[in-house]
Structures are given as C-alpha cells and as structure tokens.
A = this chain, B = another copy of it.
C-alpha cells in the first residue's frame, strides 16, 4: 500500500444559503480544492462524493456525474462514485478515496461531500434525516434523531451523573470556536444560560444542544505521497483511515453509553497510525448533539468513559486545553450539511496541521483526528492525519 497525502482542501461557507443550489455548492467546494492543490481538472483520476439524501432534500440522486458535469470533466470519463452512510457519508468518501490511492488504482482523487438541506419545508428535513434511522422500527413510530440521542443522553446522565450544564458546556465551547471561523453557520458566542433557556427539543436536549440544518459542501484532493510533492509543499499525510459498522437501530445496540462502531474504528485507527490517544493534538468529532461529543471524546480514548462531561466543563477540550476538540465550531456551530460534514472535518484538521487556522489555531498541532458518525452509530469513520 502506498502512503497517501491530502494536497488540497476547499469548502463553501456553511449556512442557510438561499442563493446557492446543490450544484453551485458542489462546484464551489471542488474548484477551491483543485486551486488549493495547484492541480488542473484533467489531473484528476477519480472522484468520490459523499451525500446522505440529495434524493430526499432536492430530489437528485446520481450526484457523481452531476459533479463531473459541473466541473466540466466529462471528456475524461473518470470513475465517479457517490457513497452514502447517512451523516458519515463524507468520511466514507474520504476512506474510499484513500483506498483508491493507497492501492495504486488511482493517483489523484477528488473527494467531496455536499448537502442542500434548506429547500424543504416544515418538518420534512426531520423526516428525511430520520431515514438514517431504522424507518420501519424507529422513525415510522415517531422517533427522530433528537429523540434517539436524548435517550442516550438520559442513559449517560443516569449512569455517570453527567449534568445538563455539562451537556451545555459542549455547545458553549463550540459556539466560541465557531465565532472565529468565517465559514461557520453561527458566529455568535452563547452561554450555559442561553442553552438552558432555549426551547426543549427532546428531553434532555435543548435547541442549543442540537446541530442545525445546513447547506454546504467540502472537498479534498488526495495523492500518493511521492507524487504530492510535485504539486505542492502543503502536504498532510493520512496516517490512518478506518471504518466500522453496527446495527442501524438503537434498540438492538449492545450498549447505550457509547457508540461501539466508533470505539472499534478508533482502536483500528490508532493501531494503523502507530499512535495513542495522548498523541493527538487536535480532533474534529461528530457533535450532532452535545451528548454525541461527550460520548465521542470518551469513545476515542481522550477521557475515561463517563468523564467526558466533566472534562468539557473544566475546559480540557478548549483550544488551549489538554485536547482541543472541534476547533472549527463542530457540527454544532459550523453547521451540519450531513453529507459534507466528514470532508469538512478533514478541511479543519488540514488547516490546523498547516498552521492556517487563524485565531483558532492550536499551537504546534502535528497530529489530528476526525471522527464521523452515521445515524445513531450504525456507521463510524475515523481518520488520523499528520504533518510530514
């Protein structure tokens, strides 16, 4: 297997982008990544696009050739494939791209993720998102994603004494980080009191415990490490790319205080990269709800199981803390265009490792991790990146 590098990144601003269509978002992120890498469109050998439900949100499937068309790459007839794993779709696109390059099948691979979520009305976004859960045995009976994560939050509070304020402290930190990210949907700082005063969505999750509905796209260019040097000096190496599965339904899961798929993917990733949790300098984790970040930093081994809430409350996951988590603002403040999120996480870690993260830069960041989850934990993808 060849060593693989990320040689370019690009993303749109995340938010309610009324003036941009799905194809506009795809084009913008792709072009930015291509320009950042210093390659030309004709250099691209294959494309993987992560998308959760463009069918549900904008009635458009088959988005890989759509991306080919908006990029003007049709005459090269390169393989272009959409992958889907709900909110982990972007991470899956990264992993398929990694496999394609590492195996020697392709050299330059464009990896992308996109979702246009604000073109549906009323509760339709919630319904489309519920297609990431078990439709027949969960969603059909009224279960939603806030509901599923609320169950996990209640269990975590019951078992470990995690508090409402600890949950809220995740949102406060991520909004603070998001206030320094020009691409974030929300640039507004919030307080614990703001979270606890916001409307209850699914007890114990308030509105400000939940990530928003977002439009956005992100892209990255992958290349074999030896070829990478031909194009750019801004090279970040992929140290590990792993993926794990579990039941799609929460009720058939073996445990409720963790996502076993994430634990499994993380263990494999540390082994593949030859590092330990303490070696990670910065991480983007899947905080679709505040409880999800608390479980994530435990599942990833940064903190003992049950201690994630306390650690967050004590500031250990702040930018200047023991292990900075979601410097981008995370899904909570940067926004969560579901299919794009996994690739946007890669964008942030690459910026951190290049020292380009501006006000939210982590000092001396050399190894970074991304943790991308689909549904209530049916899919988990972990990447570890490092400076060369």
Contact = CB atoms under 8 A, between A and B. Distances in A.
Contacts of A136: 21, 23, 60
B375 A62 contact: yes
Contacts of A62: 52, 84-86, 131-133, 248, 374-375, 378-379
A308 interface: no
A69 B105 contact: no
B65 A375 contact: yes
Interface string A137-156: 00100000000000000000
A59 interface: yes
A60 B131 contact: yes
Contacts of A131: 55, 59-62
B379 A80 contact: yes
Contacts of A100: 99
A56 interface: yes
State which size class the interface on A falls in: 35 or more
A273 interface: no
Interface string A115-136: 0000000000001101111111
A85 B86 contact: no
Given A56-B56, A56-B61, A61-B52, A134 B66 contact: yes
A104 interface: yes
A175 interface: no
A241 B52 CA distance: 26
Given A68-B248, A103-B102, A248-B66, A264 B77 contact: yes
Interface string A165-206: 000000000000000000000000000000000000000000
Interface string A58-76: 1111101110110001110
A103 B102 CA distance: 8
A147 to B, nearest CB: 16
A104 to B, nearest CB: 7
A77 B379 contact: no
B96 A65 contact: no
Contacts of A52: 61-62
A79 interface: yes
A247 B77 CA distance: 9
A248 B83 CA distance: 17
B99 A103 contact: yes
Contacts of A246: 65, 68, 74, 77
Contact of A244 (B21, B78, B96, B127): B78
Contacts of A56: 55-56, 59, 61
Contacts of A333: none
Nearest to A54: B131
A214 interface: no
B69 A252 contact: yes
Contacts of A96: 81, 96
Interface of A: 1, 21, 23, 47, 52-53, 55-56, 58-62, 64-66, 68-69, 73-75, 77-86, 92, 95-96, 99-100, 102-105, 127-128, 130-136, 139, 242-249, 252, 254, 260-261, 264-265, 374-375, 378-379
14 contacts: A55-B128, A58-B135, A62-B248, A62-B375, A64-B379, A65-B379, A66-B248, A68-B247, A74-B245, A74-B247, A74-B254, A79-B243, A81-B83, A96-B96
